[in-house]
């Protein structure tokens, strides 16, 4: 059976953990912006880690259930309600035929994830259902469309429900402003003064923030640097264009670029950053590769142990 979309909201997309193995062809990975919220949603329902979910940005999204199932809501608190009763995120809920599930406006964070028992049934494109609108790939239609009113989100009916929640210790703090960065091999091209400015300044997220990348406003750095020969770009890379305002590249980033990069946001901090809204402020903290690996493995081990 299925959910019928009755309100599509500002931006609701079918996502999984991304489309890997095609960057050499210019195809970006895409995938859930907040990987940890996505992984916990599937863990709560005993789903495969890659099972498709709906990523809901800014809210204003509503569906009507056509059959019974079990859902999990993780990520941002978008004021979700079930038949007008508030639902706290990071938990599972039983759904019955005719129920109205709605997401309203952001309370804490920006992106919520709706997982269903067994995952949504969507045909993959290049091995993934991840929606990348810019590349017209994936999603419900296969050509990168966001969800629209009248869309049908198919799932396998389930009458088995277990009330579960994510432990408090494992829930991220979306109000945290510190973003961890591993410096890159082009870091030394920036002057000592610019390095100090970058890590001592507060940056504001501009209005130009999307799934491709977040543009920042604040202390300019590296304005005297020239471009570099275009090279592959990893998730979280912090490019510095000629105006000196850093850009953090995220899931739908381009696959190559020619701006110098001062460093790379860690995987966990990238997830936290994806929950920030234009106007929010952040600051950067330098860590080494070992610390970044420990940070990621700790989170994944905690989730696996819970499973």
pLDDT of residue 306: 85
Asked if residue 88 and residue 38 are part of one domain, the reply reads yes
Kindly report the CATH number assigned to the domain that includes residue 260.
2.40.100.10
Asked if residue 217 and residue 153 are part of one domain, the reply reads no
Asked if residue 86 and residue 147 are part of one domain, the reply reads yes
How many domains are contained in the chain? 2
Q: DSSP state, 143?
A: B
pLDDT of residue 230: 86
Asked if residue 161 and residue 27 are part of one domain, the reply reads yes
Question: pLDDT, tens digit, for every residue of 152-178?
Answer: 999 998 888 999 999 998 999 999 999
Question: pLDDT, tens digit, for every residue of 78-117?
Answer: 999 999 999 999 999 999 999 999 999 999 999 999 999 9
- Which residues lie across from 286 on neighbouring strands? 181
- The whole-model pTM stands at 0.96
- Which residues lie across from 264 on neighbouring strands? 182, 237
Question: Where among 120, 137, 170 does a domain terminate?
Answer: 170
Asked if residue 240 and residue 141 are part of one domain, the reply reads no
Asked if residue 202 and residue 165 are part of one domain, the reply reads no
Asked if residue 286 and residue 205 are part of one domain, the reply reads yes
Question: Where among 170, 191, 213 does a domain terminate?
Answer: 170
Give every CB contact of residue 141 below 8 A, 6+ residues apart in sequence.
none
Give every CB contact of residue 279 below 8 A, 6+ residues apart in sequence.
204, 205
CA separation for the pair 140, 149 (Å, rounded): 13
Asked if residue 141 and residue 196 are part of one domain, the reply reads no
Residue 226 structural domain? 178-306
| Dihedral of the alpha carbons of 8, 10, 14, 20, in degrees to the nearest 10 | 160
Asked if residue 130 and residue 203 are part of one domain, the reply reads no
CA separation for the pair 238, 215 (Å, rounded): 10
Asked if residue 163 and residue 196 are part of one domain, the reply reads no
Question: Where among 170, 196, 227 does a domain terminate?
Answer: 170
pLDDT of residue 227: 78
Low-confidence ranges of the chain (pLDDT < 70): none
pLDDT of residue 158: 85
Helices vs. strands in the chain: H and E counts, helices first: 4, 20
pLDDT of residue 169: 87
Asked if residue 229 and residue 100 are part of one domain, the reply reads no
Q: How far is CA 22 from CA 19, 25, 26, 27, 112, in A?
A: 7, 5, 7, 5, 27
Asked if residue 186 and residue 161 are part of one domain, the reply reads no
pLDDT of residue 214: 97
Q: Among 118, 126, 120, 122, which residue's Cα sits nearest to residue 30?
A: 126
């Amino acid at each position: 059976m299925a959910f019928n979309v009755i309100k599509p909201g500002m931006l609701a997309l079918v996502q999984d953990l991304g489309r890997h193995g095609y960057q050499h062809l210019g195809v970006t990975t895409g995938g859930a912006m907040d990987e940890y919220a996505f992984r916990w949603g599937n863990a709560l329902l005993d789903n495969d880690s890659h099972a498709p979910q709906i990523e809901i940005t800014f809210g204003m999204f509503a569906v009507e259930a056509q059959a019974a199932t079990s859902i999990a809501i993780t990520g941002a608190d978008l004021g979700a309600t079930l038949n007008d009763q508030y639902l706290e995120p990071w938990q599972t809920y039983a759904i019955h035929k005719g129920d109205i599930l709605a997401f309203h406006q952001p309370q804490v964070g920006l992106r919520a994830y709706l997982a269903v028992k067994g995952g949504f049934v969507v045909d993959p494109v290049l091995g993934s259902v991840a929606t990348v609108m810019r590349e017209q790939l994936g999603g419900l239609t296969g050509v990168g469309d966001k969800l629209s009113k009248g869309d049908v989100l198919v799932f396998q009916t389930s009458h088995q429900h277990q009330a579960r929640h994510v432990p408090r210790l494992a829930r991220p703090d979306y109000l945290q402003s510190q973003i961890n960065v591993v410096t890159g091999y082009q870091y030394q091209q920036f002057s000592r003064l610019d390095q100090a400015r970058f890590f001592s300044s507060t940056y504001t997220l501009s209005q130009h923030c999307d799934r491709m990348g977040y543009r920042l406003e604040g202390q300019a750095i590296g304005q005297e640097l020239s471009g570099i020969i275009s090279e592959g770009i990893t998730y979280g890379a912090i490019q510095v264009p000629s105006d000196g305002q850093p850009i953090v590249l995220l899931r739908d980033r381009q696959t190559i670029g020619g701006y110098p990069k001062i460093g790379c946001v860690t995987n966990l901090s990238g997830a936290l950053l994806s929950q920030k809204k234009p106007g929010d402020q952040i600051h950067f903290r330098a860590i080494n590769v070992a610390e970044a690996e420990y940070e990621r493995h700790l989170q994944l081990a905690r989730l696996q142990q819970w499973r």
